[in-house]
Structure 1
Amino acid sequence: MSDLTTLDKHIAPHFDSSALLVIDVQNDFLDDRPSGVAGTKERLGELERLTKLYRRAGRPIFHVIRLYTEGDIDNVRRSEFAAGVRLVEPHTSGADIPVQLLPHEVTLKPEQLMTGDVQRLSDKEFVVWKPRWSAFHRTNLDALLRVLGVDTVVVAGCNFPNCPRATLFDATELDYRAAVVTDATSGVSEERIADIEPIGVVPLELADVEAAFYG
């Protein structure tokens, strides 16, 4: 566990006004898939505990996902897509969120999501589609967080150096307090965490979040 009492008061997470952002945890990104991200499947247990913790605390949860179509895909994957490689396509099981992270059975609504609308799973739980790396890029996430009175984003999920990292950078640009749950995020290393701490991102462990909510 970390000693959060020593943090600067301007970056210390406010858990009682926080939201959990679960980034890109979808079946196609699990280790046993052709385009899987190493370590993601191993983090499902911690991610399940984290989502249940936020649900129990009554705090917002946003499952932020990718959906790739021919007309809207980032440059780095265009060649693969043109060669026939398919990943998190709408209406495929590969795009689905692992069931253990959800409050109930969910059928994603790609047409709704890809217009920028959120899919509501409950009063405090949502799915958001992001077309690029950051959960804030071309999404309504910032506006939704403001409406919910959120000032702290707690990030977990798939492949830290890409989408979680981009999301954390944008969160600090928007003056959110920002934290990453390192043992519930794939692609984490000491060097990568040290690289992002200078912009005010707080590294946490799942035990820190549990202690913050329930002592």
Structure 2
Amino acid sequence: MMKEAALLIIDMQNDFVLPGAPVCVEGALETVPNIAKVLGRFRRDKAPVFHVVREYRADGSDVETNRRKAFKDAGGFVVPGTRGCDIVAGLEPVSGEYRLVKNRYSGFMQTELDLMLRRLAVSRLVVCGTQYPNCVRATIFDAVALGYDVTLVTDAASARTPEIATANMVDIANIGVHCVDTQAFLERG
């Protein structure tokens, strides 16, 4: 059932997920159990899993313009070698899974993701993670533009508010992305 499919888990790192972290997305922690269920399915089916993560240099030289002040004020976030950069407990990569670092919102922008997916003969992507209006959305829109069949697991993705999540789900569905909850995904794949 997972033939030609890969799972993209976006930015499920401590600094984005844990309450009190510098750039915590409210609601992200609550998605961990659903993401774990989807991840378990991919692991059982031995299908490719990509943990797509954000990393910034400690000096902030590669931080987007709109995040520089927040990065400085927080003393940095998602800096390699810090606990905040680690993938949240329960979703850690296992042997054979990919950890792909991105420097911008989209997992495809200036990364090897498209090349790796094509080498693995992947044509279908299942996406979850945080957060809807930024990295999840940018990655999905680029995936669609690149010709992938995309499924968004709606309750395995998060945004700062339910209203933001709903607005983004509507936009994402309107470009032809399959939007399903965890249960529907696990039943139908």
Runs of 4+ with >6 A deviation? none
Q: Look up the equivalent residue of 1:201 and give its one-letter code.
A: V
Within the candidate set 105, 116, 122, 1:144 is matched to 116
* 2:14–2:88 CA contact under 8 A, matched in 1: yes
Residue of structure 1 in register with 2:126 after alignment: 154
Q: Which structure would you say has the larger Rg?
A: 1
Contact 2:31 2:156 in 1 (8 A): yes
1:41 aligns with 2:17: no
* Structure 1 residues not aligned, in runs of 5+: 1-13, 105-120
The amino acid across from 1:171 in the alignment is A
Q: CA offset at residue 195 of structure 1?
A: 1.4
Quote the Cα distance in structure 2 between the aligned partners of 1:31 and 1:101: 13
Length-normalised TM-score, structure 1: 0.80
Of 20, 27, 31, the residue aligned with 2:7 is: 20
**Structure 1 position 98 matched with structure 2 position 88:** yes
1:15–1:212: 8 Å Cα contact kept in structure 2?
A: no
1:157 touches 1:185 (CA, 8 Å); kept in 2?
A: yes
Q: Deviations over 1:113-154 (max 9, x none)?
A: xxxxxxxx31xx100000000000010000000011100111
Aligned residues: 182
**SS at 2:47's partner residue?**
coil
Please tell me the residue identity of whatever aligns with 1:29. F
Give unmatched runs, 5+ long, in structure 2: none
- Matches for 1:114-125 after TM superposition, within 5 Å: 121-122=95-96, 125=97
Find the residue that maps to 2:30 and give its secondary structure: helix
Residue 79 of structure 2 is matched in structure 1 by 89
RMSD: 1.6
Superimposed CA distance per residue, residues 68-116 of structure 1 (whole angstroms, 9 cap, x where no aligned partner): 1122111111122344531111100110002311354xxxxxxxxxxxx
Counterpart Cα distance in 2 of 1:56 and 1:81: 38
What percent identity do the matched residue pairs reach? 38
Aligned position for 1:73: 63
Q: Distance in 1 between matches of 2:78 and 2:92?
A: 18
Relative to the length of structure 2, the TM-score reads 0.90
- Which of 154, 158, 176 is the matching residue for 2:148? 176
Alpha-carbon shift at residue 209 of structure 1 (Å): 2.1
Give, as a single letter, the amino acid of the residue that structure 1 aligns with 2:29: K
The answer to whether 1:209 aligns with 2:159 is: no
